[in-house]
């Protein structure tokens, strides 16, 4: 599974990747959606894309319309079934490891994420 956080400056390119079926095959793609992004969508506000380059101490940043980004996500999901959405704050907050301040999720295992209740 390939994932990218919703506030990364390259998120639009990531979203569009599966519209070219020769670009990425045999991989699931999902966006790590944050509560902040969802709030910006609800309020019709701009959303800041931001990435800190550790080697140069440079910050790459731009503002975009949150609703337009969500529409792009919805369209490409309709078109190709990708990207999926990982509600990242919920994953972090509802994990049994959420009580540990020094723990942070890096990704998910889609094959092991389904629970079956009898």
How far is residue 33's CA from residue 94's CA, in Å, rounded to a whole number?
Answer: 15
How far is residue 89's CA from residue 96's CA, in Å, rounded to a whole number?
Answer: 13
- Asked if the model's pLDDT at residue 11 lies above 80, the reply is yes
Per-residue pLDDT, averaged over 30-41, amounts to 96
Per-residue pLDDT, averaged over 24-36, amounts to 90
- Asked if the model's pLDDT at residue 4 lies above 90, the reply is yes
In this predicted structure, what is the pLDDT of residue 48?
97
In this predicted structure, what is the pLDDT of residue 23?
82
- Asked if the model's pLDDT at residue 107 lies above 60, the reply is yes
Average pLDDT, the chain: 87
In this predicted structure, what is the pLDDT of residue 117?
41
How far is residue 27's CA from residue 5's CA, in Å, rounded to a whole number?
Answer: 17
27 exposed, middle or buried (CB, 10 Å; 0-12, 13-18, 19+)?
Answer: exposed
pTM metric for this prediction: 0.82
């Amino acid at each position: 599974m390939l994932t990218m956080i919703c506030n990364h400056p390259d998120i639009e390119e990531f979203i569009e990747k599966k519209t070219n079926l020769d670009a990425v095959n045999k991989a699931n793609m999902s966006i790590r959606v944050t509560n902040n992004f969802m709030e910006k969508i609800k309020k019709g506000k701009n959303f800041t894309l931001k990435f800190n380059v550790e080697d140069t101490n440079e910050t790459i940043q731009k503002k975009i319309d949150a609703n337009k980004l969500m529409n792009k996500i919805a369209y490409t999901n309709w078109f190709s079934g990708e990207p999926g959405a990982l509600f990242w704050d919920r994953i972090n907050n509802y994990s049994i490891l959420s009580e540990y301040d020094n723990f942070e999720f890096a990704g998910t295992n889609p094959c092991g994420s389904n629970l079956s209740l009898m």
